[in-house]
Structure 1
Amino acid sequence: MASIVRLLVGAPLAAIVTFLLFTLMQILIFEDGTPLEEAGDDVRISIAEAPEEIQARVRDANIDQVEDVTPPPPPPAIERARADQPTESMSTIVGGLPEFDRPSLAGGDISFDVSDRDAQPLVRIPPQYPPRANERGIEGRCSVEFDVTPEGSPTNVRILSCTNSVFERETIRAVERWRYEPRVQDGTPQWRRGVQTQFDFTLDD
């Protein structure tokens, strides 16, 4: 019931407000507006102005008259002395040249082959003293034999004689670390067989 009463009261009020607003808008639309300001003078803006004429300076190409210069006189001629040719022969002045016997290359004494050489040691590391022999105060001597490869490395190391077997292992290990210049024959590295050496194991006092 209350909603019906609000509808009956609000509808006429909304219609009246709408009519008043519509009437006010018509008055504002049809009312004479204020006159526009008179148009002012036309203003023209020029962005690109005409460039000023530049007068280029022209050099005077006329060449002044050059004064004549008198060249200096030529140097005086020097008389060259002419040496007299020797009348004696060169053998009289210098002396007789010594005569040498020309070597004969036809024989077989001269050889151009590369000289042969035996294996030469480069690096020789001495063996270490065995700790067990050092503790016991044992001294000794070992003889060893080995071969040298064409690359200069010892191989086939073997003990020939040893006063005590305690020195054999260090003897072989030392020889295996040596390095040689290989044996050369006719310019080609060769094997060197049967190289022998000896080691003395002595304790320092």
Structure 2
Amino acid sequence: MMGSIVRLVIGVPIAIAVTFALFMLMRMLIFVPPQEQADVRDDYRFDINPTVEEVNARARDTSIDDVQQVDPPPPPPQVERQASDLPSESLSTIVGSIPEFDAPDLNSGNVSFNISDRNAQPLVRIPPQYPPRAAERGIEGYCLMQFNVSPDGTPIDIVALDCSSSMFERSSIRAVERWRYSPRIVNGVAQTRTGVQTQLDYQLDE
């Protein structure tokens, strides 16, 4: 305990002296003596009313020469108009008499404006997608499909009647679902077409 007090008493004055010496050293390094500024003065002269030099501008001759008189061109010649003579003979004498004929009797009861009947016609037929498993095995075949065509032209009640392989059935049904038809028309009214059959063939490209 006594040694610590002695070190403290000796060390504090030494630290103060070292700090003061460093402060004086830094002050000497950054001190810059003041320099006398030279008395620089520029002589300026201002003329309040300077003399303006007169400039002799050349006057431009703006006189207009006499314009020669130009005679206008003569007017175009007048074309005489001649009145055509009206024909003295009647039209029937010139082209002949118009034959008489009996007008047809248009009986409204015999005219029908109904749209002609027609069967369902294919509009869009997208080919089926080849089953990947059948393509990998090199299997070819067919699938006979049957379906009905609704009044709006959409295939419904799709059934696979006969397929050479069960791998073709699913892709065939999906293909027919995307087909579109013009519906069956009877007496101008769209109706359902039943029993439509078609065969889808599956063949690999060589």
- Match of 2:152, SS state, is coil
Q: Which amino acid aligns with 2:174?
A: R
Cα 1:79–1:182 change in 2 (3 A) is closer
Question: Residue 168 of structure 1 aligns with which residue?
Answer: 169
Q: CA deviation at 1:100?
A: 5.9
Q: CA deviation at 1:94?
A: 1.9
Cα 1:81–1:129 change in 2 (3 A) is closer
CA distance, structure 1, for counterparts of residue 88 and residue 94 of structure 2 = 9
1:1-205 equivalence runs, <5 A = 83-87=85-89, 89-97=90-98, 102-106=103-107, 110-205=111-206
- Match of 2:205, SS state, is coil
CA distance, structure 2, for counterparts of residue 79 and residue 127 of structure 1 = 81
Cα 1:131–1:117 change in 2 (3 A) is same
* Structure 1: runs of 5 or more not aligned: 1-77
CA distance, structure 2, for counterparts of residue 104 and residue 181 of structure 1 = 37
Q: CA deviation at 1:99?
A: 5.7
Q: Which amino acid aligns with 1:130?
A: P
Q: Which amino acid aligns with 2:85?
A: A
Q: Which amino acid aligns with 2:130?
A: Y
The structure with the largest alpha-carbon Rg is 1
Post-superposition CA distance 1:167-199 (Å, at most 9, x none): 111111110111222222222211111111111
CA distance, structure 1, for counterparts of residue 180 and residue 160 of structure 2 = 19
Q: CA deviation at 1:202?
A: 0.2
Q: Greater shift after overlay, 173-182 or 114-123? A: 114-123
Aligned residue-pair number:
127
Q: CA deviation at 1:91?
A: 2.1
Query: Normalising by structure 1, what TM-score?
Result: 0.54
- Match of 1:127, SS state, is coil
Question: Residue 59 of structure 1 aligns with which residue?
Answer: none
- Match of 2:153, SS state, is coil
CA distance, structure 2, for counterparts of residue 138 and residue 82 of structure 1 = 91
CA distance, structure 1, for counterparts of residue 161 and residue 188 of structure 2 = 32
Q: CA deviation at 1:149?
A: 0.8
Q: CA deviation at 1:124?
A: 1.3
* Structure 2: runs of 5 or more not aligned: 1-79
Cα 1:94–1:173 change in 2 (3 A) is same
Q: Which amino acid aligns with 1:157?
A: I
CA distance, structure 1, for counterparts of residue 199 and residue 100 of structure 2 = 57
CA RMSD of superposed structures (Å): 2.6
Q: CA deviation at 1:117?
A: 2.2
Cα 1:81–1:180 change in 2 (3 A) is closer
Q: Percent of pairs identical after alignment?
A: 58
- Match of 2:106, SS state, is coil
Q: CA deviation at 1:152?
A: 1.3
Query: Normalising by structure 2, what TM-score?
Result: 0.53
Q: Which amino acid aligns with 1:147?
A: N
Q: CA deviation at 1:138?
A: 0.7
Post-superposition CA distance 1:6-52 (Å, at most 9, x none): xxxxxxxxxxxxxxxxxxxxxxxxxxxxxxxxxxxxxxxxxxxxxxx
